[in-house]
Amino acid sequence: MIAEIIAAGSEMLTPFRQDTNSLFLTEGLNDLGVQVAFKTIVGDSLAHLTLAAKVALSRADLVLFSGGLGPTEDDNTREAAAAALGLGLHRDEQLMESLRQRFAARKMPMPANNAKQADVLEGATILENANGSAAGQLIDTVLDGSRRIVLLLPGPPREIKPMFTNQVKPRLAAILPLGFLARGLLRMALIPESLVDSRTAPIYQRFPDIETTILAGSGEIQLHFQCAKPTRAEAEARVADLSAAIEHEMQDDIFSAHGESLEEVVLLLLGLRHWTLATAESCTGGLLAGRLTGVPGSSRYFLGGAVVYADQLKTVFADVPEEIIEREGPVSEPVARLLAEGIRARTGASMGVAITGIAGPGPGTGADAEKPVGLVHIGLADPDDTQVRTLHITGDRERIRFWATQYALEMIRRHLL
């Protein structure tokens, strides 16, 4: 069984907006053992949308539309699907009544336009929309001798997500041939993709019934596993076996086997030791603290710290002597060390971490004028010792800043293991 997703909306044919519903829909379809073979993005025009619908019905068993169910002239998904399937549309009285009630509850008159939201394809099952006026529709029919399942779903994520999860998935699970898909995910930071592949390929190739995908980006390598089996237990056992074999090979290089982010793992490890952490950030200007405080409950182990962007704040908030900043430059191994120790002392945290570097695009100032863009020093102070790591990060300002926070988190993680 293969599926096609059609995202309807002219804004997704501009340089500014993208279809994102299809990622969520794909995940849900994969859960049911269905692969997505095609995705089409098409504008609001009835002619184009009908053409896209016909093409999809000719090559996929299951066709999902997202968007185009609103009340305006530009909302043509119902009409296009009806034309492509050769089915009639009729105005559903019950749906009309619930639209009227919806407007009455808001003490607003129902605009005439909205009546078209009660148009339903012949034989369709109506899917209620808890978060909007656009009802969904499910059509299970035969076209040119082949069974076709068609779903009309609203575009806004807060409408399509609950509708898909609560109404579509259970119905498809009942309709489709039984199957269960188990997933796994191993995450590693700051290792070359080629190294991960050369060490893990001999293992995952022994599991040809598991689809393994390696994704690299933002200082992280992810190994995704998908395995379809007739029962949940079988599928999950296979994924667990492969995951265990790769964990045995990669050991501590794996920071997460259950989906946690690197910052979540760092906070977890701090919690195990009952340690607290504080940060002093220069070139990353608060990004590291921002990542850590993005985790709910982080306040138990992350105290905060200082954004020591201007040189004088390195002295004001972390007691780095002015003369050392002047002599060595703010981007230097001694300043990273003193910042880490200083922020630890000032905040009373168990651990202090400091980042100083040249994020570019311009060069550093004073004693740093000759240092290269991408030079970053990370200092880590704990009750016993302070260590400093020196890095040369390539790329633009945004990449250098993000990778610096990634290196800092990975350095903390390995230190806490």
**Binding status of residue 71 toward its own copies by CB under 8 A:** no
Q: In terms of CB distance, is 85 or 306 closer to its own copies?
A: 306
Q: Name the residue nearer to its own copies (CB basis): 124 or 210.
A: 210
Residues 223-262 binding its own copies (CB under 8 A) are 224
Contact track, its own copies, 292-331, x by CB under 8 A = xxx-xxxx--xxxxxxxxx-xx--xx--------------
Whichever of 94 and 205 has its CB closer to its own copies, that residue is 205
| Residue 235 tokens, joined | 């599928």
**Residue 355's CB: how many other CB atoms inside 10 A?**
27
Decide: is 344 part of the binding site for its own copies (CB under 8 A): no
Q: Which is nearer to its own copies, 296 or 385 (CB)?
A: 296
CA dihedral 308, 314, 319, 320 (to 10 degrees): 140
- Give the other-Cβ count within 10 Å of 167's Cβ: 20
- Beta strand pairing status for 2-8 and 35-42? parallel
Helices (H), 106-183: 157-163, 169-175
Q: How far is the CB of 126 from its own copies (least distance, A)?
A: 27
For the bound state, the minimum distance from the C-beta of residue 307 to its own copies, rounded and expressed in Å, comes to 4
Position 109 contacts its own copies (CB under 8 A) = no
Sole window of 83-91, 161-169, 232-240, 343-351 interacting with its own copies (rule: CB under 8 A): 343-351
Question: Could you say which of 104, 175, 201, 215 contacts its own copies (CB under 8 A)?
Answer: 215
Exactly one of 109, 145, 348, 383 binds its own copies (CB under 8 A); that residue is 348
Q: Which residues pair with 148 in a beta bridge?
A: 141
Rule CB under 8 A: choose which of 71, 132, 285, 321 binds its own copies. Answer: 285
* DSSP per-residue string spanning 67-112: S--SSSTT--HHHHHHHHHT--EEE-HHHHHHHHHHHHHTT-PPPG
Does residue 59 bind its own copies (CB under 8 A)? yes
- In angstroms, the CA 161 to CA 131 distance is 10
Helices marked H in 274-332 — which ranges? 287-293, 311-318, 322-328
Q: Which of 62, 82, 289, 320 binds its own copies (CB under 8 A)?
A: 289
Closest CA to 151 of 75, 56, 239: 56
372 DSSP assignment: P
- Contacting its own copies within 10-39 (CB under 8 A): 11-18, 20, 23-24, 26-27, 30, 35-39
